[in-house]
Chains A and B, each alone.
Chain A
């Protein structure tokens, strides 16, 4: 049995410590009280791993490593500091992309080294891991950039579709895999290799563009998982266990979140990825009969009156609150109502917003204490006792049609039971349909008052009116 020398032993043991710190860190991140410590522990693990890697004797030149680390640290630190909390989904998305891109580049460099030093002969297991890393890494890279573009508004948030889209997608990925098999089995050619890289990058774009904005929580979670799996595959390429362990941890974390998001929409992962949801051209059953229904609208004074004299108010935030940056005004309203003795709670749907936990982050930024925030299962039994449900820029997640209309695209999706509250006030810009492209009967409920306008303006108006009471 081979015995490791002193230095290799130190490096290997340090990696083991780093891996344990990652697991510890993730564990601590599962409770709000210890989460910050958990993040720090994981960061320390990463620092240890990086430092001991620099001791590796295979490294002959540190200049270029330093250049890469300095550039990366600057970009990373500045963007982490500057980013607005409302832009967090695209920030996380783009960080994912860089992680995936890094793994793909490592695999490309290994392919280059292996083919140039051993007369083009690559071991089977090495070439398979290289190709897998490149495909996952490249798809994560471009996929994340498209997701970033969609969230940032560079690319339309609506699903982008073209004729024969599914056929093209399948051909692209099959082409990449087929060529890979050829490269592995017969010819480790550089030209073909670049074609595989190109096809994988292309597939990342094709894979994300047909997915609509409100399905982004699923996409971001899935890309998060991919970035981990890419790092894991890169671990097989460079034969380094710490990459395999850390990559798998992230891979499983991403998969769990993906699964939670899909469950919250009652849709399968394949349905989210391939159905181009929300284009409006699907069979939508009872959605057209809106002509004779009348929605009642209120002004700020009346809405403030209803809320100011209520005993309990449940606030239901949605993407509209994020888009209008209304979270600070919401906090002001919350404090004002609380000072009048009104009990205020927040009902958070798992897929409200554009990434898992989006609403929680925004409300935390506005310094709304997190113990006022309730998950769907905990808050739903409370709606029947609530005097007012104030809906701020949410639509599909409160649509009662999901309970009974089997022809509706959102049938079966768990919703917040807003319709059971005594009064419902909905802040919304218009009566337009939500992302799923279907009408919401709740708008026409006699208990409902529509308060039309941008979330921020309207909440601010409520604040000044409640002050006058």
Chain B
């Protein structure tokens, strides 16, 4: 097995555990924002997309790359903005009688 693959697998497994640890305690009120926030993070594929679009090996490659960049950007920008909009609405009662 190539060393890079082994390294990747190690990181993958540890990151999954980190994810489970960090997220298990989220209260139900925040399930939707958590999901859409996490969703925005999954737009990290944009990094791969940028490299593919920028390396420019062939026309088809660039086409794939540009569409991938656009898709991932929708995911990132839309995801973070919509989560922020939602969380902005979550307010505790201000004037308690």
A296 adjacent to chain B (CB < 8 Å):
no
Assembly CA distance A372 to B94 (angstroms): 12
- Tell me how far the C-beta of B34 lies from the nearest C-beta in chain A, rounded to whole angstroms: 5
* CB-CB nearest in chain B for A243: B44
A116 and B45 contact, CB distance less than 8 A? no
* Interface contact A371-B93, CB-CB below 8 Å: yes
A375 to B39, CA, bound (A): 24
Distance in Å: Cβ of A4 to nearest Cβ of chain B: 14
Segment 2-51 of B: residues with Cβ below 8 Å from A: 2, 4-5, 7-8, 11-12, 15-20, 22-51
List residues of chain A with CB within 8 A of the CB of B20: 252, 255-256
Q: Is A356 an interface residue (CB 8 A)?
A: yes
Chain B interface: which size bin?
A: 35 or more
| Cα A33 to Cα B29 with chains together (Å) | 12
Q: Are B28 and A116 in contact (CB under 8 A)?
A: no
List B contacts of A230 (CB < 8 A). 42, 45
5 more A-B contacts (CB under 8 A) besides A30-B27, A81-B81, A247-B42? A39-B40, A69-B70, A231-B43, A242-B47, A252-B15
Q: Hey, which chain B residues are within 8 Å of A406, CB to CB?
A: none
A213 within 8 Å of B by Cβ?
Answer: no
A294 in the interface (beta carbon within 8 A): no
Chain B residues near A (Cβ < 8 Å) = 1-2, 4-5, 7-8, 11-12, 15-20, 22-58, 60-62, 64-94, 97
How distant is B75 from chain A, measured CB to nearest CB, in Å?
4
Q: In this assembly, does A61 line the interface, its C-beta being within 8 Å of a C-beta of chain B?
A: yes
Contact of B43 among A83, A102, A237 (CB under 8 A): A102
Note all chain B residues with C-beta closer than 8 A to A224.
35, 38-39, 42
User: Does A212 reach chain B (CB closer than 8 Å)?
Assistant: no
B62, A64: Cβ atoms under 8 Å? yes
Given contacts A43-B80, A68-B70, A95-B79, contact A249 B92 (CB under 8 A): no
Closest chain B residue to A78, Cβ basis: B78
B7: chain A residues at CB < 8 Å are: 241
CA distance A383 to B70 in the complex (A): 50
> Which residues of A come within 8 Å of B, CB atoms?
22-23, 25-27, 29-33, 35-36, 38-40, 42-43, 46, 49-50, 53-54, 56, 58-62, 64-65, 67-69, 71-73, 75-77, 79-81, 83, 85, 88, 91-92, 95-96, 98-99, 101-103, 105-106, 108-110, 112-113, 116-117, 123, 125, 220-221, 224, 227-228, 230-232, 234-257, 260, 338, 348, 350, 355-358, 360-361, 364-365, 367, 369-373, 375
Bound Cα distance A241, B7 (Å): 9
Question: What's the Cα separation between A69 and B69 when bound, in Å?
Answer: 6
**Taking chain B's interface residues, is the majority helix, strand, or loop, or is none over half, making it mixed?**
helix
- CA separation between A36 and B74, bound complex, in Å? 20
Instruction: State how many angstroms separate the Cβ of B36 from the closest Cβ of chain A.
Output: 5
- Within the complex, what minimum Cβ distance (angstroms) separates B9 from chain A? 8
Report the minimal beta-carbon distance from B17 to chain A, rounded to whole angstroms.
8
Contact across chains for B29 and A112 when beta carbons are under 8 A apart = no
Q: How far is the CB of B48 from chain A (nearest CB, A)?
A: 4
Residues in A whose Cβ lies below 8 Å from that of B34: 26, 29-30, 253, 257, 357
Q: Out of A85, A106, A364, name the residue touching B68 (CB < 8 Å).
A: A106
Residues of B within 8 A of A38 (CB): 37
* Residue from B1, B79, B97 whose CB has the most chain A CB atoms within 10 Å: B79
With a cutoff of 8 Å between Cβ atoms, the chain B residues found around residue A36 in the complex are 84, 87-88, 90
User: Which one, A95, A102, A253, contacts B19 given CB within 8 A?
Assistant: A253
CB-defined A-B contacts under 8 Å, sample of 14: A46-B40, A49-B44, A61-B56, A64-B69, A80-B82, A85-B89, A103-B68, A125-B2, A224-B38, A238-B52, A251-B19, A256-B23, A360-B32, A364-B86
Contact across chains for B47 and A79 when beta carbons are under 8 A apart: no
Find the A residue at minimum CB distance from B57.
A113
Name B30's contact: one of A32, A81, A241 (CB within 8 Å): A32
Given the interface pairs A42-B80, A241-B11, A248-B16, the reply to whether A103 lies near B45 with Cβ below 8 Å is: yes
Q: Measured between alpha carbons, how far is A360 from B7 in the docked complex, in Å?
A: 41
Chain A contacts for B70, CB-based, 8 A: 67-69, 71-72, 75
Q: In the complex, A92→B80 CA distance in Å? A: 11
Does the CB pair A365–B89 fall under 8 Å?
yes
Residues of B within 8 A of A88 (CB): 32, 36, 82, 86
Q: Which residues of chain B have C-beta atoms less than 8 A from A40's C-beta?
A: 84
Tell me the minimal C-beta distance from A339 to chain B in angstroms. 9
- Given the complex, which residues of B lie within 8 Å of A46, measured CB to CB? 40-41, 43-44, 46, 76, 80
Tell me whether A248 and B19 are in contact (CB under 8 A): yes
